[in-house]
Structure formats: C-alpha cells, structure tokens
Amino acid sequence: MLTDDELERYDRQIAIDGFGKEGQEKLKKARVFLAGAGGLGCTVSLYLAAAGVGTIRMVDPDAIELSNLNRQVLHWTEDIGRLKVDSAAAKLRRLNPNVKVEAIGQKITAASISSLTAGFDLLVDAMDNLPTRYLLNKVALERNIPFFHGAVYGFEGRVMTVLPRETACLRCVYRGDIPEEKTPVVGVTPAIIGCIQAAEVIKHIVGIGQLLTNKLLIYDGLTMKFTELKVKKNPDCEHCGQLVKDKK
Amino acid sequence: MSVTMNVPSNLRQFTGGQAVVECDGKTVGECLHDLARKFPGIEMGLFDSEGNLLHYLDVYVNLESSYPEELNKAVKDGDELHLTLFTVAGG
C-alpha cells in the first residue's frame, strides 16, 4: 500500500500510461541486486532509488579514490577513502528515505555470489571485470531471474537485457577473457548507459514497454549514434545452452 | 565488393579519426585486410599473432554477428559492417 507521501513523490511517473499505482506498488516490492558502485552503479542506483524501488543491495569492495570522481557521481571529494557502497548508500537514503539500501563492501566471488544474491528478483551488472560478469550471468540463469548488463569504454557503451531461458545471455555474446587494462572513460558515458539499464529494470518491474532482449545496444558518444545489433541465442552456449536443452 | 565499415573509437587513431570508412572484399576477412592496407597499424587491433580475429572483437554484418564464421563470412556490395570491442569496464 502506498502512503500519501509516496503517492505525491511518485505522482509524475504514476501518471504514465500503463504505470499507475499498480506499477508503483510493484516497484516498492521489488528487490534489486546491484553489482558495482562505480560509474554505472552510481547512476543505476540513483535512478532506481528515485523511482522508488523497495530494496537495493549494492555490493562493491572498493574504496573511493580521487580518480573516480570524474564519473562516479554519488561519491564526492570528502568521501575519498570511504567504501563506495557506504558513500552511495548514504546519498541514496537522503534522496529517498522510503528505499531500503543495503551496502555490502565485499568482493563477489564464486563462493559468495549465491548467498549475496539470495532473495533478489533482478540482477544488475555494473561490474568492472568479465569474470564477475560471467558469475552474475550464470547465477541469473540458474535462478531464472532477469539480468541487466551494461559496460563502458571512453565515449562508448553497451547495454543488453537477459531473460533466462528466453533470450540470448551474456555468454552468448562474449567469448573468452579480455586483457585487463586501465580503461579510459568520461563520466557522461556511464551516466547514459546506467540510465538505460535503470530504465530497463523499471520497465521490467512495472511490466511496460519493450526490453533490450536479443539485442546489444551500442552507444557511440563521439558520433552520437545508437546502434541496435541483433544477438542470437547460442545453442552451444556454456552458460545457457544446457538450460535451453533442458527446457525442450 | 565495397562495404561500409564502422570503426570503434579505440581504433580510430589509425583511421585519422574516421568512424566510418569504405573497404573492399568478398568476405569479412578480406575487408579487414583491406582496412589494414589502407590504415597501417590497425591490424594490431584486429588480428592475433596467428592471423585470427581477436577473440574480444566481433564483426557484425548488417547488424548480425559474423560469429562463428567470422573472417570467412561472405559479404556483398553495400553491406554495412560494425567492428565492436568487448567492453568490460563499469565506469
């Protein structure tokens, strides 16, 4: 049940066709797991909290450094040295006290991912490395919960949404590992990509619109072009191939 | 066969900043080798030491992935190719 305060706070989105009080109630009940409190994580959490997602669990082991501040907009100069999840949670609680924000300053590992994600309805991938992204993709497939992928490089970014057993997964698109390097990035890129991820999450919870499934949306900020690439399920995919065979 | 090649930003240092260039070839591989001929140095961002397409690079032909044929995938005049780098940073 929405309170009078919530009805007023979310008045403009409740007014959207197909959203309504029912959609807002769904957001209030939703439990979103967010992996990463960096550039993408800051943007995703900011807009999910503003929209009234009931519970957001943020997981990230890192502390804030000066070089993070060009893009990780929930972390400010006075936060340097603080855990990113604590800094983000503090800002989000001030933005919207109705939202329960859980801050966990841990690394996501093969051993910990199951307990960390237990009880959550959706996984958002705002990580900074491929092995952890693969872990998230896999656990989403095992749990049959949606997975929202985003990644950035410089002025470029990419987004895709995975609905287990129905659509292509991250492993259908990515192959092998990628050499680690210091990645260049300007703050507007994770802001744009994170906003698209947040929009996908909100649409999925409310049940309106179309999702970026079986598609990889590529954003090129230098040419200001969005390109929608078609993605197909790989029947031999290491992560989702067996699920498809089991379904048959 | 002339195709349009969309170049990702990390390789545009070799194309003089051009995001879109024209290439010739009957397959994805021929088009990429033509790209390398026109823009020396770019091959380091396309192929591994054995001449295979880098595993973290994907080529889309008319918005569809060329995987698993990749370099052997046939192209025709007027096709549009997108080179995309597997990006993993979270900002």
- With the CA atoms of A121, A112, A60 and A220 taken in that order, what torsion angle do they form, in degrees rounded to the nearest 10? -60
The tens digit of pLDDT for each residue in A147-170 reads: 999 999 999 999 999 999 999 999
B90 close to B84: Cβ distance less than 8 angstroms = no
Domain A4-247 has CATH 3.40.190.10: no
| Alpha-carbon dihedral A44, A161, A201, A142, rounded to 10 degrees | -100
Distance CA A232, CA A172 (A): 7
Over 60: is that where the pLDDT of B34 sits?
yes
> Tens of pLDDT along A53-71?
999 999 999 999 999 999 9
pTM passes above 0.90: yes
Asked whether the predicted pLDDT for residue A228 surpasses 70, the reply is yes
With contacts defined as CB-CB under 8 Å, which chain A residues touch B58?
Answer: 173
| Chain A positions in Cβ-Cβ contact with residue B6 (cut-off 8 Å) | 227
Q: What is the pLDDT of residues B63-87, one digit of tens each?
A: 999 998 999 999 999 999 999 988 8
pLDDT at residue number A58: 98
CB pairs under 8 A between A and B: 95
Residue B25 and residue B5: Cα distance in Å, rounded? 11
Contact across the interface for A230 and B64, Cβ inside 8 Å: yes
What pLDDT sits at residue B27? Answer: 98
Q: Do A229 and B65 touch (CB under 8 A)?
A: yes
pLDDT at A187: 98
What are B38-67's pLDDT values in tens digits? 999 999 999 999 999 999 999 999 999 999
Average per-residue pLDDT in chain A? 96
CB count in 10 Å sphere of residue A75 = 25
Confidence tier at A246 by pLDDT (50, 70, 90): low
* Confidence (pLDDT) at A247: 58
Kindly list the domain boundaries of chain A, sorted by start residue. 4-247
pLDDT digits (tens, 9 = 90+) for A116-143: 999 999 999 999 999 999 999 999 999 9
Question: Residues A15-28: what's their mean pLDDT?
Answer: 98
CB–CB contact A179 B86 (8 Å): no
- For B15-29, what is the mean pLDDT? 98
What distances in angstroms separate CA A127 from CA A14, A166, A190, B47, B56, one per listed residue? Answer: 31, 24, 12, 27, 17
Residue of B9, B56, B88 lying closest to A220 (CB–CB): B9
**In order of start, what are the domains of chain B with their CATH numbers?**
2-85 (3.10.20.30)
Pairing relationship of beta strands B57-61 and A215-220 according to DSSP bridges: unpaired
Strand partners, A55: A31, A100
Q: Which of B9, B65, B90 sits opposite A156 (nearest CB)?
A: B9
